[in-house]
Amino acid sequence: MFEFMKATLTILTLGGAALLAGCGASSVATNTDAAILTTTNQTMNDKSDKITKPDAEWKKELNPEQYRVLREKGTEQAFTGEYWNTKDQGVYRCAGCGAILFVSDTKFDSGCGWPSFYAPKDSKVVAEAADNSHLMKRTEVLCSKCGGHLGHVFDDGPKPTGLRYCINSASLKFEGKPGEKK
């Protein structure tokens, strides 16, 4: 009986760690990524376009899941978000501030259960930061305009960038092209 309980606890612990990992652990540290980090960090430091609000205001404007993800750096459960399987044409905006972050032309099915893109609309719309939480080394992706947590970027994506921006649906608002189904 003790061995069964020990094995069950081990499985639960490993499963919980995998769930917390989100799309997985990865170190994104190529020369291209260093250039992107430099560019996006400069954008984050440009205060003229940056939106800052008190938490009380964010709580009024965002639904509870959006607040948890964007402001508290939460992660939605895989395969449950609104946009993980969306194939419609359009743009993905930040749910916090409305900035256009990604376009559907760069979205691909990575199989991880979160919307995945191989590139942002341009390097200035997202910022990156080191994330060493949950005993992993990852690169966090943030909205450059409002600082909202979007997800993480990994170095296992398709060409042309080799990157996979693994983004929470709760941090996005999809805007379809006119005439496209929603």
Average pLDDT, the chain: 81
pLDDT(63) > 60: yes
Domain count, the chain: 1
- The answer to whether residue 16 is domain-embedded is no
- The answer to whether residue 94 is domain-embedded is yes
Active site (catalytic) residues: 166
- For the chain, what percent of residues have pLDDT higher than 90? 68
Q: Which domain holds residue 170?
A: 26-176
- The answer to whether residue 68 is domain-embedded is yes
Q: Specify the CATH number for the domain of residue 145.
A: 2.170.150.20
Report the pLDDT value the prediction gives residue 179, as an integer from 0 to 100: 67
Per-residue CA distances from 157 to 67, 71, 105, 147, 153 (Å):
28, 26, 14, 24, 9
- The answer to whether residue 141 is domain-embedded is yes
Q: Give the confidence band of 178 by pLDDT, cuts at 50, 70, 90.
A: confident
- The answer to whether residue 2 is domain-embedded is no
- The answer to whether residue 12 is domain-embedded is no
Q: Across residues 60-69, what is the average pLDDT?
A: 97
- The answer to whether residue 153 is domain-embedded is yes
88: tokens are 């419609």
pLDDT(16) > 50: no
